[in-house]
Amino acid sequence: RSFILFWSPMSESAEKLYRFTREAFGPLSFYPLHYDLLFDVRETTVRVTAKQTYIYQGEEETSSCLLLNCHNLEIHSVGLFKTSSKLGPPTTGIEAIPPNFVAHVSSFKDLQEISFTVNEKDRLLEVQLPSPVSQGEEIVIQTVSTCRPNDHDLEGIYFDYTPDGAPQTMITQCQQYGFQRIVPCVDRMISKLFYTTTIVADKRYTNLISNGDLADGFFDSDNNPQYQSVSEVFGEQSEQILPEYSGPERHVLRYYNHKVNMAPYLFFLGVGTYEVYRRSVEYPRGEEFQLELVCFPNIVKPQHAAAALKALHDSIIWLYVSCGEEAYCHKEEEQQIFKLIQEREAIKEKLQGTLVHRIGDPKQETKLGEEEREQLTSKLVEIRHKLSELSFVWKETGYCYTGTCYREIAMENSNYGGMENVGNTTILSSRLTPSDWLIDGAYIYMEGVKIHEFYHNINGSQVTGASPFEIWLNEAVTVHIQRQREYDLFGHDLIRLRHVQYAFTPASGPLAQDRSPVSMAVEPIGFNTTHELISAMTYSKAPEFVRMVELILGPEGFSRALANYHKKFAFGNATTLQWIEEMSALAPDDVDLVEMSRGWLNRTGYPTVTVRDMTYEASSGQVSVEFEQSGFPDDGSENSGPWLIPIDWALVKDGKNIRTGVYVFRKAKSTFVISDVHESPDFISVGRDWSFFGDVHYDSSAASASQRMCQALSDPDTVNRYLAVQSIVDNEKAKLIRALVSKADKSELVVSDECLKLFGSILTDSSLSNSSRAKLLTIDEAISNYPELGHHYFEIADAKTILQHSIYDNHGETVLRVFKELFAACQVVRPQGDGIADRMMMHWCFSILQAGADKPSVSVRGEVADSLKSLDLLEHLKTMLGSYAMSDKYFALQKILQLRNIEETERQQILDDAKAIWTVHPIGCEQYISCVAYANSHQAPKYIRQLMDKETSPFFNMALAGHARSIARGWCSDRKMAVLDPEGLKMTEELFLTIGKVNQMSAYSFFGAFSDLHKFDPETKSRLEESLRRMQSGLDASKQESLYNQLNILLSGKKDK
């Protein structure tokens, strides 16, 4: 007999470490072609009748056994239709024409029951076919099953936010193995099939939603849902099809997902009570579809809904015009199109009264005279004609949506911030729209997630990775496009510096995670749950790999290669190698991208490039520099050997680039010669704009201390300027940390004059934006350039304080002046995006002022300037608490929790007042929990316990992933408290088990807290290992399999190499 292989016995090396290995994802024997799904939605259960069409393509000539994934389902019956029409082999390719699925479903006749067995251990439904099925033969089976949603298993169908008095909202999350929790199926990424979905649910629900377009007979002339009664749809068979129902009256809606075949993990079903805002998208060539913003009632203000739809609309147009094969070919026409679309939309708004309409509201009447209306209508026709003409300059535009409606749907509880579901993107309600409660980082995310999830329509949905090991392929390219849009919206430097700063974050940052004991390669050797793949490796390291490929091909070559990939594998699946081959077709002949990908995708870690021996010979006009790389295995194994690294470089003189280029570095050591250099450069800037995922160290033979200082002051590349500043600051920190560890006298804890001058220069550098100044001046509680010192958490914190005190003592008056200017500017109400840079710089200034005036001294302090003595920190914070900007409120509350010179009764009263105001609103509630959890206060345990106490914080819900995640990540961000403090370590154990038993994914951040385990002295290491063992012993090895197995890896020292 032949069957589908879902997972195989593990190899000895993977035993007890991973549930799934790559061998588990072989070819399909029975390939699904179409699922006709009937959802019988009841108060606490969902009964599903699934008519499933398969074609046999197994290696054996015949098979009489069909295996379906089946997880926590009650199976009532399985049947086989004796009569059905044929669909033919799977349809793939850009020109593919799907068959007639309506006619196919109507052909099903003569259902006979067949035998089956439920294998709960392996999560399988074993179906015994009455006779063998031959190659190319199609069968149609019917399964009837019931699933039981709840509020904490956030996979399959589960309960989400439900307004008072409304029936229970239910939504689905099928990535990656959620569909098998809904219906028995072939739950694989290569199961690209079509769906017909019929929903029977309570008439009180405002929305019944699934993938595809509304079926014939189920929509009106405005494309609004037109529900039908149960009797109209099922007639006399109603009681047989929907047995034993006695609840509220129900009605029926049906969807056809017959245009785009999709993997089961992209399936969506939602029944709930919502407010819906609608706006149309009109492409330059006239194609049109509807956008719907599906919001929780009374949560979103109409102006915020309109702003969210505008942001989505503009990103969709940007994708169509600015991306695709000809992304860099028509820049002049591109700008004309954007301008004309603005004019067109403004005219439409005048004619219609509004561009955004809330469904259920009366349509606005416009007060236009006949003549004005005619003029506007004529102008609209003219603009549309111009747009069409301009658009045909493109032979191939960017992606054009194929459906009639694209929705963004609010969700409250999810392991993900957003999830693409082919036409129905779910997004956390707190990130769905602009809001009075949205901090600046969340606002940037709100803009980014819109283009990210929409781009998945082509990258991830239309072309899908072949297995979970290719999840990176769906995500990394999508993140890359998202970043381009964010550069366009917020400026390159602000966004790119955010990427780099995050990358170097200790414990939780991508670089730290990539060298942690539990690190996994982008394409790992195995995993326990696909949640483990939703990681910094997938969303940071992999996009940097894509960016490196773009750097090698050039932007135009990369755009063409990506378009070729999307056309070649349209409506099908692709492997990593197939993506690499499409890139390779346009890569330089001397660059082996396959070799490059083996290093970057199939092993953990990253390279460190050391720059040595830079010389300039005036007579020959040549600069010579030596590069040496480390951080790669050199044991002769398949994936050993140096990394292939694209190094973006520049020679800089007087703050200007005099030579630039990209050098592909592929050996352990190499000498690079630059010709035609007519003057001695001040320095060489290596890895510009963070051109590879790793770090660069400059040996003194390549860059003296004065040259590094020059780079910190004048490198045109803002990223390398930032990294140069950080290296100088880390040098100071290292000196201070070593002195602190050796118990040196306070008089030795001194910051150099050169470092202080650097801070003074950047502080007053008017050529920099406020966001760049704030980033360059950042003093993190970390020391990335000295990993051997990275585990001295208390000393690192003290070193930061000494630096802050020194800046305050030497530049305090300037800091105060800048702060007051920005403080005044930030009181003026303006669009959120416009104020981000000013708030960043204002918050940095206040942090210095607070440290100088409030933090206990660690070193010998200087004399405080008279102008600083009257500074009232608390009064300024109280003013910020009343700001229109949520980022100011959030920042102020955290600083109040950190203050030392404040009465505890006043602090608690301020905290209670904020709690009373913020937690009334669900998004404000989330912000309150996050703010307190991340406060890094000296009284953090007290505040964490207050959050988790049901009496003091009845709003806190551990079952909500966002609440639990905030506690876990916030607590673990302060490792001196979470790991090295004895009482804090006990709390770490308690929080890990409390959170992990509810939602494993929410507890992953605890592993990062122990990432320096191997660095500690034997006594400390032993104490931490005992703590980890206690954490593991508190888990159920089966129920918390992912956490349990990752602790095995952490304790054993084995990792995915």
Residues whose CB falls within 8 Å of the CB of residue 432, separated by 6 or more in sequence, listed in order: 293, 295, 300, 308, 408, 410, 446
pLDDT at position 9: 31
pLDDT digits (tens, 9 = 90+) for 152-200: 999 999 999 999 999 999 999 998 899 999 999 999 999 999 999 999 9
- Pair 128, 41: CB distance under 8 Å: no
- Pair 185, 69: CB distance under 8 Å: yes
Residue 818 has pLDDT above 90, yes or no: yes
Residues whose CB falls within 8 Å of the CB of residue 12, separated by 6 or more in sequence, listed in order: none
Residue 590 has pLDDT above 90, yes or no: yes
The lowest-confidence range among 39-43, 102-106, 206-210, 244-248 is 244-248
- Distance of alpha carbon 418 from alpha carbon 369, whole angstroms: 45
Q: Strand pairing partners for 292?
A: 278, 407
Task: Write out the two tokens for 231.
Answer: 């009797």
User: Helices 705-714 and 753-763, interaxial angle, to 10°?
Assistant: 10
DSSP 35-87: EEEEEEE-SS-EEEEEEEEEEE--SSSEEEEEEEE--S-EEEEEEEEEE----
Residue 529 has pLDDT above 90, yes or no: no
Task: Write out the two tokens for 293.
Answer: 């913003």
Residue 4 has pLDDT above 50, yes or no: no
**Radius of gyration, alpha carbons of the chain:** 30
Per cent of the chain over pLDDT 90 is 92
Query: What sign has the CA pseudo-torsion 956, 962, 965, 966?
Result: negative
Of 497, 541, 500, 501, nearest to 522 (Cα)?
541
Q: If you average pLDDT over residues 839-862, what whole number do you get?
A: 95
Task: Write out the two tokens for 952.
Answer: 């003091």
Residue 2 has pLDDT above 50, yes or no: no
- Distance of alpha carbon 186 from alpha carbon 131, whole angstroms: 20
Helix intervals (H) in 764-792? 770-776
User: CA 363, 365, 368: angle at the middle one, nearest 5?
Assistant: 150
- Distance of alpha carbon 720 from alpha carbon 179, whole angstroms: 46
Task: Write out the two tokens for 746.
Answer: 């306070």
- H or E stretch at 169: none
Q: If you average pLDDT over residues 887-904, what whole number do you get?
A: 97
Helix intervals (H) in 701-831? 705-714, 718-741, 753-763, 770-776, 793-825
Residues whose CB falls within 8 Å of the CB of residue 502, separated by 6 or more in sequence, listed in order: 509, 510, 540
Of 619, 695, 678, 689, nearest to 650 (Cα)?
689
- Distance of alpha carbon 495 from alpha carbon 480, whole angstroms: 12
Of 881, 886, 804, 875, nearest to 845 (Cα)?
804
Q: If you average pLDDT over residues 556-570, what whole number do you get?
A: 97
Burial of 241 (0-12, 13-18, 19+ CB in 10 A): middle
CA dihedral 131, 133, 139, 145 (to 10 degrees): 60
- How far is residue 224 from each of residues 219, 278, 854, measured CA to CA in Å? 5, 11, 60
User: Of residues 9 and 595, which shows the higher confidence score?
Assistant: 595
pLDDT digits (tens, 9 = 90+) for 248-264: 999 999 999 999 899 99
- Pair 792, 842: CB distance under 8 Å: no
DSSP 553-598: H-HHHHHHHHHHHHHHTTTEEE-HHHHHHHHHTTS-TT--HHHHHH
Strands 405-411 and 288-295: parallel
pLDDT digits (tens, 9 = 90+) for 735-762: 999 999 999 999 999 999 999 999 999 9
User: Of residues 5 and 60, which shows the higher confidence score?
Assistant: 60
pLDDT at position 1: 28
- Distance of alpha carbon 897 from alpha carbon 893, whole angstroms: 6
- Distance of alpha carbon 805 from alpha carbon 248, whole angstroms: 67
- Distance of alpha carbon 298 from alpha carbon 80, whole angstroms: 48
Of 94, 194, 189, nearest to 465 (Cα)?
189
> Could you count the other beta carbons within 10 Å of the beta carbon of residue 909?
11
- Distance of alpha carbon 362 from alpha carbon 348, whole angstroms: 18
Residue-level length of the chain: 1057
Residue 7 has pLDDT above 50, yes or no: no
User: Of residues 12 and 936, which shows the higher confidence score?
Assistant: 936
Per cent of the chain over pLDDT 70 is 98
- Pair 1028, 1046: CB distance under 8 Å: no
Which backbone phi and psi does 382 adopt, to 5 degrees?
-65, -45
pLDDT digits (tens, 9 = 90+) for 655-676: 999 999 999 999 999 999 999 9
- Pair 651, 622: CB distance under 8 Å: no
> Could you count the other beta carbons within 10 Å of the beta carbon of residue 778?
16
Q: If you average pLDDT over residues 789-810, what whole number do you get?
A: 97
In the block, tokens 């007890």 appear at 16
Burial 825-837 (b: 16+ CB within 10 A, else e): ebeeeeebeebbb
Judged by DSSP in three states, 967 sits in: helix
pLDDT at position 21: 87
Residue 15 has pLDDT above 50, yes or no: no
pLDDT at position 866: 87
Residues whose CB falls within 8 Å of the CB of residue 866, separated by 6 or more in sequence, listed in order: none
pLDDT at position 1054: 59
- Distance of alpha carbon 679 from alpha carbon 695, whole angstroms: 28
Residue 518 has pLDDT above 80, yes or no: yes
- Pair 732, 758: CB distance under 8 Å: no
- Distance of alpha carbon 475 from alpha carbon 480, whole angstroms: 9
Binned at pLDDT 50, 70 and 90, residue 1056 comes out as low
- Pair 838, 883: CB distance under 8 Å: no
- Distance of alpha carbon 852 from alpha carbon 861, whole angstroms: 9
Task: Round the average pLDDT of the chain to a whole number and report it.
Answer: 95
- Pair 607, 629: CB distance under 8 Å: yes
Residue 11 has pLDDT above 90, yes or no: no
Which backbone phi and psi does 910 adopt, to 5 degrees?
-60, -45
pLDDT at position 923: 93
pLDDT digits (tens, 9 = 90+) for 462-492: 999 999 999 999 999 999 999 999 999 999 9
Which backbone phi and psi does 950 adopt, to 5 degrees?
-65, -30
- Distance of alpha carbon 452 from alpha carbon 312, whole angstroms: 10
Instruction: Identify residue 131 by its one-letter amino acid code.
Output: S
- The strands making up 683-686's β-sheet, listed across from edge to edge, are 656-665, 645-653, 683-686
Of 788, 762, 766, nearest to 709 (Cα)?
762
- Distance of alpha carbon 453 from alpha carbon 407, whole angstroms: 11
Query: What sign has the CA pseudo-torsion 262, 263, 269, 274?
Result: negative
User: Helices 542-553 and 471-490, interaxial angle, to 10°?
Assistant: 70
- Pair 300, 432: CB distance under 8 Å: yes
- Pair 419, 166: CB distance under 8 Å: no
